[in-house]
């Protein structure tokens, strides 16, 4: 009963055509159901919590650079708050679908007097995925902000997140993020 645009604004569609690992086409769908009758109570321990969140749209000159890192970190922190995940150590997986640069997007940035992280569209996927992963690492305390800069993205492999999974695509200009962890605020048997 909602428009396609509303669906796109409410649901994270994180799809990858890449062949990381084993090529096995599949679809995994996470849904959340609010209920007054929790199957398990907070007193019985933490339960699986899943929260999606979107960043604002990025300008082409921000993709693969620190604005994408900091916006991603802010969004992950907001998702944790909304999911009731109290501690970064309770976050176990963060999936991000992020944008990449196209010739048109690069041209737009240059026309407005800006540079982009790379002029190679394929390489831009790595920059965007790297900036997104570092944003997750920053949000979870896996890296310090003082150690981050545009220059370390895709260059310093000592900076990383142990829970990030990122995929870049042409179909969006923002980051679509799904945070999975444990929270006492959630019910269920997981």
- The residues that are catalytic are 97, 167
Which residue, among 153, 138, 131, 139, has the nearest Cα to 51 in the 3D structure? 139
Rounded distance between C-alpha atoms, residue 130 and residue 124, angstroms: 10
Which residue, among 12, 16, 40, has the nearest Cα to 186 in the 3D structure? 40
Q: Centre a 10 Å sphere on the Cβ of residue 149 and count the other Cβ atoms it contains.
A: 13
Q: What are the helix (H) ranges across the chain?
A: 4-10, 66-83, 103-111, 121-139
Rounded distance between C-alpha atoms, residue 34 and residue 175, angstroms: 25
Distance of CA 127 to the CA centre of its chain: 14
Residue 146 carries which DSSP code?
G
Rounded distance between C-alpha atoms, residue 30 and residue 123, angstroms: 30
**Dihedral angle over CA of 58, 77, 92, 135, nearest 10:** 40
């Amino acid at each position: 009963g909602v428009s396609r645009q509303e669906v796109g604004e409410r649901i994270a569609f994180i799809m990858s055509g890449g062949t990381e690992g084993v090529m096995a086409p599949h679809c995994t769908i996470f849904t959340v159901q609010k209920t007054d009758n929790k199957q398990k109570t907070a007193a019985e321990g933490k339960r699986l919590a899943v929260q999606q969140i979107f960043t604002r749209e990025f300008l082409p000159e921000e993709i693969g650079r620190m604005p994408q890192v900091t916006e991603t970190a802010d969004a992950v922190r907001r998702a944790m708050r909304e999911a009731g995940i109290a501690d970064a150590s309770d976050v176990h997986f963060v999936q991000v679908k992020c944008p990449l640069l196209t010739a048109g997007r690069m041209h737009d940035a240059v026309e407005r007097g800006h540079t982009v992280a790379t002029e190679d569209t394929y390489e831009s996927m790595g920059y965007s995925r790297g900036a997104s992963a570092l944003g997750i690492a920053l949000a979870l305390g896996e890296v310090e902000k003082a150690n981050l800069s545009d220059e370390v993205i895709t260059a310093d492999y000592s900076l990383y997140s142990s829970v990030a999974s990122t995929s870049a695509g042409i179909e969006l200009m923002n980051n679509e993020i799904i945070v999975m962890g444990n929270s006492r605020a959630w019910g269920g048997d997981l």
